[in-house]
Amino acid sequence: MKKLLLLFTMSLLMSCLDKNEFENQNQFQGFFDNEAFSKIIQKDFKIGWSSLSQHFSEDLGMNYFEFPVIFSDNSNSVKGKYRVSFALLVTLKDQNNIEFYAVKFYEEIKNDTDFTKDISFSDTNKFSGLIHVLDKNNKLFFAKKMNDGAALDQHLFYNNDPEESSSNSRMEEDCYTVATHHYTDWYVNGIYTDSWLDYTSYETECSSYFLPDLYLDGGGGGGTYGSSTGGVAYNDCGDPLHGCIYQVEDSPTSLLVISPDKPIANMTNYLECFNANQNAIITMYVDQPKSGYSDAFALTWSGAVIGHTFVSITQGSNTSVFGFYPSTDDTNTSSPPEPSAMGDDSGESFDVSISVTVSGTVLQQILQYAIGRPSNYDLDNYNCSDFGIAIGNLAGLGLPDAYGTWPGGGGSNPGALGQHIRSRTSSGNVTIKKTAGTASSNSKGCLIQID
């Protein structure tokens, strides 16, 4: 493997500058572009400006100052099999010409306790994984792959100016197209959940080598990158000769449940038209987060969703559709139980439904349960699906708990409940509908309108 040397004028002059002057005046901090590096680091952070240390790198062929990057939550990110941390490198030509570089450490996770503490670019003893040096535009400047402190491969990248090159034709021969795969990593309630390929762009590169971000095995970027859930998060590069770039943006979101769009102020009045001495049809509607799947939640560009379960009662010309909700719009897995609310779900969409005819006696029990609903909503312990399952089982449907997990918790959910209903067939007085539709509209035929 050839070792690339980068000769910069700044590296020759830097050692002549007075380190103590910058220690005292802290001029680095004034030149630092926090906004640009926030796009690279993508977590709340601060720079340990007081921890100034000067070093020389044979890999980079230059002197540099190094500062630690400290996350506000005192934790490092995890991407698949890597623990990710950062440092800041500073090189300077003079006091008004300072270059900043982010060092991104991808340390292979071997177990929960075996990792490098206080890792730095100047001390990579026992480090295993990848080291990337990025400029403020998030361009790869240097990359190095290591195992137990030993370098396995490294590449130094810098812009080549054809006018300054002594061999333009050779430069053209080295040009090739490199694919950049743009991904979004989703973190729901702070927990890595999935990675989406947004799009792929292509650019002509004229470097001898190109080490991709999240590089694993093979020449220049073969292999796949596994997610922390065990699946393959990032597609195979497909170009083992030149490799690819994986540009990944972190997207934090929350698993939120909102209050009803149409709250019901009084359930007794809402259900006033039903006669407990007559039969009625009870229908449970399930809007799955991912239609046809038991997933407890699904990611959308607007956030993470868990779907909805709701109920209707029909008796003659009377129909009422309703569901169980939290009373506020910020309920998530970390929220304590909060007051519940009932919502008018007439005309809402659903993926699957189950209906059953019940006697007046059973209808009376269902009406009493709906009117005297549990006073608290708890996403993990009693949510809209728990309410629907309770109504369905009062109607004799024998529904299961339909438990599933989501980031930070788990509980009964429309995904699992919908798939249970899909597994059943219509029989007797039970009707299953497995195609999507919209729920019935409300109708109060018992009320006589006088013109």
Which of 173-182, 187-196, 293-302, 357-366 shows the lowest per-residue confidence on average (mean pLDDT)? 173-182
Which of 181-185, 352-356, 366-370, 406-410 shows the lowest per-residue confidence on average (mean pLDDT)? 181-185
pLDDT at 115: 65
Whether 331 shows a pLDDT value over 70: the answer reads yes
Q: What is the mean pLDDT of residues 317-343?
A: 89
Rounded to the nearest integer, the mean pLDDT of the chain is 79
Whether 278 shows a pLDDT value over 70: the answer reads yes
pLDDT at 226: 36
pLDDT at 6: 33
pLDDT at 116: 66
pLDDT digits (tens, 9 = 90+) for 90-129: 987 666 678 899 999 888 887 766 666 778 898 888 888 8
pLDDT at 176: 63
Distance CA 155, CA 181 (A): 20
Which of 53-67, 69-83, 138-152 shows the lowest per-residue confidence on average (mean pLDDT)? 69-83
pLDDT at 29: 83
212 — pLDDT class (breaks 50, 70, 90): very low
Indicate the pairing of strand 53-57 with strand 62-71: antiparallel
Higher pLDDT, 159 or 339: 339
pLDDT at 237: 66
Whether 210 shows a pLDDT value over 70: the answer reads no
Whole-Å CA distances, 420 to 183, 285, 387, 401, 428: 34, 13, 16, 10, 18
Other CB atoms within 10 A of residue 316 CB: 14
Q: CA-based Rg of the chain, rounded to a whole angstrom?
A: 30
Distance CA 66, CA 87 (A): 7
Higher pLDDT, 248 or 274: 274
Whether 5 shows a pLDDT value over 50: the answer reads no
Strand partners of residue 132: 104, 143
Retrieve residue 61's tokens: 């062929």
415 — pLDDT class (breaks 50, 70, 90): very high
Which of 282-286, 295-299, 321-325, 383-387 shows the lowest per-residue confidence on average (mean pLDDT)? 295-299
Other CB atoms within 10 A of residue 445 CB: 11
Distance CA 293, CA 127 (A): 42
Retrieve residue 352's tokens: 């699957």
Which of 122-131, 154-163, 194-203, 348-357 shows the lowest per-residue confidence on average (mean pLDDT)? 154-163
pLDDT at 205: 59
pLDDT at 258: 87
Q: What is the mean pLDDT of residues 377-406?
A: 95
pLDDT at 318: 96
pLDDT at 51: 82
Q: What is the mean pLDDT of residues 269-274?
A: 96
Of the candidates 77, 24, 67, 22, the residue with the CA atom closest to the CA atom of residue 46: 67
pLDDT digits (tens, 9 = 90+) for 173-191: 345 677 777 888 878 877 7
DSSP-assigned letters across all residues of 181-243: EEEEEEEETTEEEEEEEEEEEEEEE--S--PPTT--BTTTTBS-EE-TTSSEEE---S-TTT-
